[in-house]
Homo-oligomer: A and B are copies of this chain.
Amino acid sequence: MVFGNMGDTSGTGVAFSRNPSTGEKGLYGEFLMNAQGEDVVAGIRTPQTIDQLEKTQPDVYAQFVSIVDKLEKHYRDMQDMEFTIEEGKLFMLQTRNGKRTAAAALKIACDLIDEGMISEKEAVSMIDPKQLDALLHPQFDAKKLKAATPIGQGLAASPGAACGKVVFTADDATEWATQKGEKVILVRLETSPEDIEGMHYSEGILTVRGGMTSHAAVVARGMGTCCVSGCSEIVMNEEAKTFTLAGKVFKEGDVISIDGSTGKIYGEAIPTVEATVTGYFGRIMELADKFRALQVRTNADNPTDAKQARLYGAEGIGLCRTEHMFFNPDRIAAMREMIVSKTAAQREKALAKLLPMQQGDFEELYEALEGNPVTIRFLDPPLHEFVPTDEGDIVALAKEMDMDVADLKAVISSLHEFNPMMGHRGCRLAVTYPEIAKMQTQAVIQAALAVSARHPEWNIVPEIMIPLVGEIKELAFVKNVVTETADKCIANSGKCIADSGKALTYKVGTMIEIPRAALTADEIAKEAEFFSFGTNDLTQMTFGFSRDDAGKFLDSYYDNKIYESDPFARLDVTGVGKLVEMASTLGKQTRPDIKLGICGEHGGDPSTIEFCHKIGLTYVSCSPFRVPIARLAAAQANIKNPRN
């Protein structure tokens, strides 16, 4: 036992060998003279910064500096140390690798390479990929944040910080953002698929109801938009367009700030700063790319997200969901017309209206990707998600479509499903209404032809992905619709092909998201040129619970230590992983060069990425804001288990 409280030549302190916030080299810490460790921790006396020690005890300081240098060289990492001085004699109590911010971790790793202390591989391996998340979203200006006081607390549902004017409907969000150029925060009781467009135009999303896996939370994370969900303290008045929080009434246009990394809500403006992948971050990313075997793609369905992901290093789009495109106000009408059609001819007429818009969407994506691969998933959700639920909206739609209201209501009610997740969706839509798949194929191929003609230097090879396949004959049926349409499109467009000097080719593949598809992957691979594991749905069906409903019992499961982590965040390797591995093996048996990817939310989770690397997938695909995390995790996986 040594004593730091033996008088004025005694003392105790803690120090880091580098600054744990910035990574700057040099001692960083504090100490108290005539004190024990608990006095430092207790915070009763104000400690001095470590450099003060040089003045009061220069010999001890010099000895300390030399020991720190020795320790760093020994452990080859930044050290976090405790020391005590007893009557002028230095005792080191403890040393360990120090915790640090993401920014510090990057700088320290780079500096340690430059100082010849560690190899590039070691530098890549020493950074926790999850930490990067903090660097990839806008953050509050640190100084301004200090002066602000939170007025409410919700769930930290999607990271990042946002500041903007309060709006109460998705339409207002779109209008204010696009027509007035305002930055808005969308405040809702909860969001629904109809709100997608408005969510896109919002800086941040705040909901009163819903947990970490609510619609708002999941969609916001996918978009990389800041979201605070489930702030039940808010009293909402949707009609008056006001809400009350901490005794204050907020109305439309009032400025608030929210932090999706902490769940805090502020009743004032706090400026934010943008994220970039440059400097040390950029250097570590380059190293990661050097060492990884897995490709990294992104899930994106609009040019903004796609460009953002490319800036973050995405090598292509692994999942473009086409359904979000139909919620746009100028499209939803045609979409609804298609849904309530009674004949294939009526449906085709409505689809013809959607075709040029859809083609436009894809052209923009191909432009944004500059020849890198784009995987387009055909329409997936049940059709009832597109029809209005509100009485007024129904009446308006009936009028617009020249239909009897009762008739329209009957159609809407016929779309009701007991278990929509396991209902009429995915490729089942294409089996019952092949004209939908035809329209989408035309859009994909015509867009590819048009962009190829404009950019003959790009090699655009569209990847058409059929969702929710469970049986080889089902895929064969839809694929037949796709290839017939695509081949006709290509043949009819002699001019485009001549312009680019080469014939357009395309691939048809499938999602593996239904257990039966995984179990019969050897058969499915006969028709599928690629598999993309849709681990969100695959997890739901393998566990037999729906994400929307699991909230009611998952807490009991965590409390009783039945589940240790959220199976929607981290792939369940034992069960779901077994299916993924089985499908990969079976798929390769049939088609050795099959391209295998993952496009569930798990695609951005480091431990899942390690698993994907091990079982030999070609790529992972994740939301734009997780691309750098995936690049680093992929590199670490390959350093740990090098792929031949």
Name A residues whose Cβ lies closer than 8 Å to a Cβ of B.
417-424, 428, 431-432, 468, 470-471, 473-474, 477, 513-516, 519-520, 523, 537, 540-546, 548-550, 552-553, 556-557, 560-563, 572, 574-576, 578-579
Q: How far is the CB of A518 from chain B (nearest CB, A)?
A: 9
Closest to A539 in B: B516
Question: Within the complex, which residue of B418, B544, B549, B557 is in contact with A541, where a contact is CB–CB below 8 Å?
Answer: B544
- In the complex the two chains form, is B549's CB within 8 Å of A431's CB? no
Q: Which 10 A-B pairs have the closest CB atoms?
A: A514-B544, A423-B549, A516-B575, A419-B546, A422-B546, A418-B548, A515-B515, A419-B419, A473-B562, A424-B552
- In the complex the two chains form, is B431's CB within 8 Å of A560's CB? yes
Among A417, A477, A515, chain B packs the most CB atoms within 10 A around the CB of A515
A473 CB contacts on chain B under 8 angstroms: 561-563
- In the complex the two chains form, is B470's CB within 8 Å of A543's CB? yes
Q: How far is the CB of A49 from chain B (nearest CB, A)?
A: 50
Closest to A469 in B: B544
- In the complex the two chains form, is A544's CB within 8 Å of B474's CB? no
Complex CA gap A455/B574 in Å reads 46
Q: How far is the CB of A578 from chain B (nearest CB, A)?
A: 5
Q: How far is the CB of A208 from chain B (nearest CB, A)?
A: 15
CB<8 Å pairs between A and B, sample of 10: A418-B546, A419-B422, A420-B549, A423-B546, A424-B552, A424-B553, A470-B544, A515-B515, A515-B575, A516-B572
- In the complex the two chains form, is B516's CB within 8 Å of A549's CB? no
Complex CA gap A549/B560 in Å reads 34
- In the complex the two chains form, is B516's CB within 8 Å of A542's CB? yes
- In the complex the two chains form, is A424's CB within 8 Å of B549's CB? yes
Closest to A582 in B: B519
Question: Within the complex, which residue of B424, B549, B560 is in contact with A417, where a contact is CB–CB below 8 Å?
Answer: B549
Complex CA gap A177/B548 in Å reads 43
- In the complex the two chains form, is A431's CB within 8 Å of B477's CB? no
Q: How far is the CB of A482 from chain B (nearest CB, A)?
A: 15
- In the complex the two chains form, is B422's CB within 8 Å of A545's CB? yes
Complex CA gap A537/B543 in Å reads 12
A540 CB contacts on chain B under 8 angstroms: 422
Q: How far is the CB of A483 from chain B (nearest CB, A)?
A: 16
- In the complex the two chains form, is A418's CB within 8 Å of B549's CB? yes
Closest to A564 in B: B473
Complex CA gap A561/B477 in Å reads 9
Assess A557 versus B431: contact at CB under 8 Å? Given A541-B515, A575-B470, A578-B519: yes
Question: Within the complex, which residue of B419, B537, B557, B562 is in contact with A548, where a contact is CB–CB below 8 Å?
Answer: B419
A579 CB contacts on chain B under 8 angstroms: 515, 519
A419 CB contacts on chain B under 8 angstroms: 419-422, 546, 548-549
Assess A471 versus B562: contact at CB under 8 Å? Given A422-B419, A422-B421, A432-B556: yes
Complex CA gap A542/B543 in Å reads 11
A550 CB contacts on chain B under 8 angstroms: 423
Given contacts A422-B549, A470-B544, A477-B562, 11 further A-B contacts (CB under 8 A): A418-B421, A419-B419, A419-B420, A419-B422, A471-B562, A477-B560, A514-B544, A515-B575, A516-B544, A520-B574, A541-B544
Assess A519 versus B542: contact at CB under 8 Å? Given A421-B419, A423-B552: yes
